Amino acid sequence: MLRAPLLAAARSRRIRALIEAVPATRAVVGRFVSGSATADAVRVARELAADGRSITIDHLGEDTTDAAQAATTVRAYEDLLSALAEQGLAQGADVSVKLSAVGQFLPADGEGVALENARKICAAAQAVGATVTLDMEDHTTTDSTLGILRELRGEYPWVGAVLQAYLRRTEQDCRELSGPGSRVRLCKGAYAEPESAAFQDKAEVDQSYVRCLRVLMAGQGYPMVASHDPRMIAIAAKLAAEAGRTAADHEFQMLYGIRPQEQKRIAAEGSIMRVYVPCGDEWYGYFMRRLAERPANLAFFLRGLATRS
């Protein structure tokens, strides 16, 4: 019942101002966001690497309509990749990029600007041995994002895609993106979507997730299983084994701050466990979507505010 209002709040400037004005908010947000500076993301990357976990880092930001801001985001990714390389943490690392943060919504040739900016980030990643995954946003951006993905893969075939199981189209998208070398992160989805585009019932979303997993595991690409659901993780492991996959040709992903002990367990068992690490000041939209995903996250937030007020 809380999901819809929380997702609506994620787009509200008024509610954002109210939440950001509470002094205790930042301390609580720190559970899910590494910090505002590049050094914070590097510190977390080092901590995760120490116990065998991999990273994908998201420099937070979205819905940019200013070309200068899009260029600033590109430089932030370049600086981040350089800092990871200096600390010996870039090889095998990944950065997640929202195309709306690098120009996709600009009024003049937004897709062209986003493509060129994403190319710059890919070049910086390739230079240090890292990879790039294009984050997926609401369903209105899916065709645009996949179009830019196809362009990028002509030069950087390792660029990853994110597909959201709650969208009705995703099973077919999985078929089209399950070829050799294709990296696909499968998640359930975290935006408010109309029934015409997305399954609304949790059971339907779960069923779609499993169907999509079957397609990806049976394909020739590299599935990235983004889920905190123990049942989905177990199903993914079973499907990987049935498909003859080894620990090296698929991976599991979870969000920073959620189920860390389970992350460590999966890594200790020899699977690739990649943690999605957000950083930067533009944390509000990301944080609200995390609250909408799990009631336990909202309870944690409210308890944190109460104890710090």
Q: Which residues are catalytic?
A: 135, 185
Residue 295 identity: P
| Cβ-based neighbour number of residue 112 at 10 Å | 14
CA distances from 76 to 26, 45, 71, 95 (A): 21, 16, 9, 11
Query: Any bridge partners for residue 224, and if so which?
Result: 185, 251
Nearest CA among 172, 88, 87, 158 for reference residue 121: 158
Residue 298 identity: L
Measured between alpha carbons, how far is 45 from 263 in angstroms, rounded to an integer?
A: 14
Measured between alpha carbons, how far is 224 from 236 in angstroms, rounded to an integer?
A: 10
